Amino acid sequence: MIGVTVSRRSGWRIFPLMQLSLWIAGARAVRWQSGSASVDLDAVDGVVIGGGDDIAPTLYGGELRLGVRLDPDRDSLEKSVIEGAFARSLPILGICRGSQMLNVVLGGDLHQDAYSVYDSRKFRTILPRKCVNVTPDSLLFRTTRQSQVYVNALHSQAVDRLGDRLRVAARDSGGMVQAIERTSDPFAMGVQWHPEHLFYRRAHRRIFAALTQAARARAAEVGQIAAAEEQALADTFL
């Protein structure tokens, strides 16, 4: 079971794509959004932090800018979910905004207008038109099995300074960070694009499959610990 955070505005159309991508990978999905009372990290085996509105720059020491659409309630929810997931060793996949939030929660910051910093061609499409270069020997490389991946792009912000125990897993031709991943357990990966829109491409399906595999391994480990504790308790009464 995977908990998926989505926007209150666009979750109705994004969650079914998440649900489909996770189902293909062998997992079930539960929808979480700000204002929901049903967020229960103890009931899931992994987490997806979805895309949507920009993150409030106050979370990483940036300055508020005019014309930026924010959702402070969602920021608070996802910060809590990521912190709780790490406390429970739950695997995490961050998508677009979710990748940025993963970086921010781990102490990193963002370029608010990344295209003013990098000489990267600006795309705004759900179609896989942008080519990103995957870092050799990265988890993302082992997952997609490709050194270059064609992705979609809907973002204006991007990762700047990396958070704790994170490394760059992909960049575009202009040098802009397109994927990050944690260098130690638990599994944590963030991609700047939207693989849920690209379920018809094998490389992007493999991203959800990697999350599902990590979630399954974590669930098995928890089950073994619970069984051992139960046996130890039973032995005390023999």
The pTM of the full predicted model, rounded to 2 decimals, is: 0.94
Count of the separate structural domains present in the chain: 1
Domain that holds residue 47: 2-235
What span, in angstroms and rounded, lies between the C-alpha atoms of 139 and 13? 29
Candidate list 96, 111, 181, 197, residue with the active-site label: 96
For the stretch 130-184, pLDDT in tens is 999 999 999 999 999 999 999 999 999 999 999 999 999 999 999 999 999 999 9
* pLDDT for residue 36: 73
Query: Which member of 78, 181, 196, 204 is catalytic?
Result: 196
What digits encode the pLDDT tens for the residues 179-231? Answer: 999 999 999 999 999 999 999 999 999 999 999 999 999 999 988 877 777 77
Residue 131 annotated among the catalytic residues of the structure: no
What's the full length of the chain, in residues? 238
CATH of the domain at 17: 3.40.50.880
Catalytic residue among 111, 194, 197, 204: 194
Active site residue 196: yes
Q: Are 187 and 91 in contact (CB under 8 A)?
A: yes
pLDDT by residue (tens digit) across 37-85? 689 999 999 999 999 888 999 999 887 775 667 889 999 999 999 999 9
DSSP code string of the chain: -EEEE--TTTHHHHHHHHHHHHHHHT--EEEE-TT-S---GGG-SEEEE---SBPPGGGTT----TT--B-HHHHHHHHHHHHHHHHTT--EEEETHHHHHHHHHTT--EETTGGGTS------EEEEEEEEEEPTTSHHHHHH--SEEEEEE--S-EE-S--TTEEEEEEETT--EEEEEESSSSPEEEESS-GGGGTTSHHHHHHHHHHHHHHHHHHHHHHHHHHHHHHHHHHTT-
